[in-house]
Amino acid sequence: MARIGAAPETHYTLPADFAGVLGQCVANFGWLEEIIKRTIYALDKARLADDLTQRELHGWLSRMGNLADDSMGTLIEQLDAAMRRHPGLRDRDRITDLLNEIRQYRNLLCHASWRPTADPDRWHPAFVSNKGEIFDKDMAIGDLDQIRDKTVKIGALVMRVMRATGEQGYWAGDDET
């Protein structure tokens, strides 16, 4: 395997401003995953029959509870399938494509080891994808800002899908007051 940077013993501390924006990106990915889960829940709930037995309802709630452990890639696949089962939703393919693009950044930013560059405002995310791809672009705060903004925008699109079901996206057991 190709070496992706300095020896593993080398540790670098990110500047506070860069680390702060990176942390906000990661927090936004978590928010987006929650929105995806709630949208899957809302899409599936909107399709439930009114006469479910307790066993059927319990099975559905158990399936929805398992969403908490799913990876972002699996969540995107489940959301895409749920959107396809729900009639009248537009932009399904566009939403899925945007989510997959954001997922690539999520994997990069959440799993990279950061290395300094000759430019003190840019840092290199040392990262090899599960396909063996090495990310070769250095990043600055402006790059992270763009990713953060994209994440919020796609989250708003997903939330619109959730609202189109008539459901507000509450989990069973949420305090709706």
DSSP output for 28-88: HHHHHHHHHHHHHHHHHHHT--TT--HHHHHHHHHHHHGGGG--HHHHHHHHHHHHHHSTT
Q: CA-based Rg of the chain, rounded to a whole angstrom?
A: 19
- pLDDT for 49 equals 63
Read off the pLDDT of residues 20-76 as tens digits, 9 standing for 90 and up.
999 999 999 999 999 998 898 888 876 666 666 777 777 777 776 767 667 888 899
Three-state DSSP at 119 gives coil
Top pLDDT among 55 and 163 is at 163
Phi/psi at 71 (5° precision): -75, 165
What is the pLDDT, as a whole number, of residue 133?
82
Is it the case that residue 176 has pLDDT exceeding 70? no
How many whole angstroms separate alpha carbon 72 and alpha carbon 117?
30
Could you tell me the pTM of the whole model?
A: 0.83
| pLDDT of the residue at 177 | 47
